[in-house]
Amino acid sequence: MPWDPWPPRRLVLCTPRLELRPDDDGGLFELADEARRGVHAPEVMPFVTAWTDDDPENRALNTLRWHWQKRAALRPESWSLQFLVRLDGRVVGTQALGATDFAVTRGVHTGSWLGLRHQGRGIGTEMRAAVLMFAFDHLGATHARSAAFVDNPASLRVSEKLGYRPDGTEIIARRGKLAEDVRLLLERDLFRRPDWALEVEGLEACLPMLGVSRG
């Protein structure tokens, strides 16, 4: 083809252990299986929307629907790249990087989840560091935002290791009860970089879709 109608399919980020690519249908079915197997212990809820409380089959189906919706909604003024995270060639989780009016704000936000059976191995830190390096070094972002509930120490530790600082809190209804959500901000100059380099392929053709101009 003389042109590619969907350049993100050729975008890839590589870390020492992981490969991150925007979602593809083959990989999405692997991700849906991870959702079906479980994302966290039943007594905790790390998400604002308690989608993981659904039965395993619906969790899998709704995972597909969510990613298809985000893919179809991608526009330069509002985008969310849903990276599938692969370890040894298999999908183990997803790492999102999104922005609104990025051409003006130069700010991004992140979100992620990892299959329960893959947690505790540093994968969450590595995949978040990957999209932060991508945003700061390749897209020209100046800051990144994230959030985590006060009772989600694993996510808060990842943010702390990477240099985020608290930026206020918000009280949210979660499972019908009050929960405190910690907002987090990371400025580019305060990013605690890992000791490895990120490899990026297929970026240039994606830039117009992300509202990024090299001029």
Using one digit for the tens of pLDDT, what is the confidence trace for 148-200?
999 999 999 999 999 999 999 999 999 999 999 999 999 999 999 999 999 99
Instruction: Give the number of domains in the chain.
Output: 1
Q: Show the tokens assigned to 203.
A: 């970026």
Query: Which among 131, 198, 197 is positioned nearest to 158, based on CA atoms?
Result: 131
Contact 150, 132 (CB under 8 A): no
> Which pLDDT tens digit goes with each residue over 65-98?
999 999 999 999 999 999 999 999 999 999 999 9
Q: Does some domain include residue 49?
A: yes
| DSSP-based three-state secondary structure for 122 | coil
The rounded distance, in Å, linking the Cα atoms of 91 and 19 is: 9
Looking up residue 177, the CATH number of its domain turns out to be 3.40.630.30
Query: Which among 108, 25, 106 is positioned nearest to 71, based on CA atoms?
Result: 25
Q: pTM score, two decimals?
A: 0.96
Q: Does some domain include residue 215?
A: no
Confidence tier at 3 by pLDDT (50, 70, 90)? confident
User: What percentage of the chain exceeds 90 in pLDDT?
Assistant: 96
Q: Does some domain include residue 1?
A: no
Query: What is the reported pLDDT for 215?
Result: 64
What domain range includes position 48?
7-210
**CA torsion, ordered 19, 188, 98, 35, to nearest 10 deg:** 50
Q: Count the alpha carbons within 13 Å of 106 in the hemisphere toward its beta carbon.
A: 12
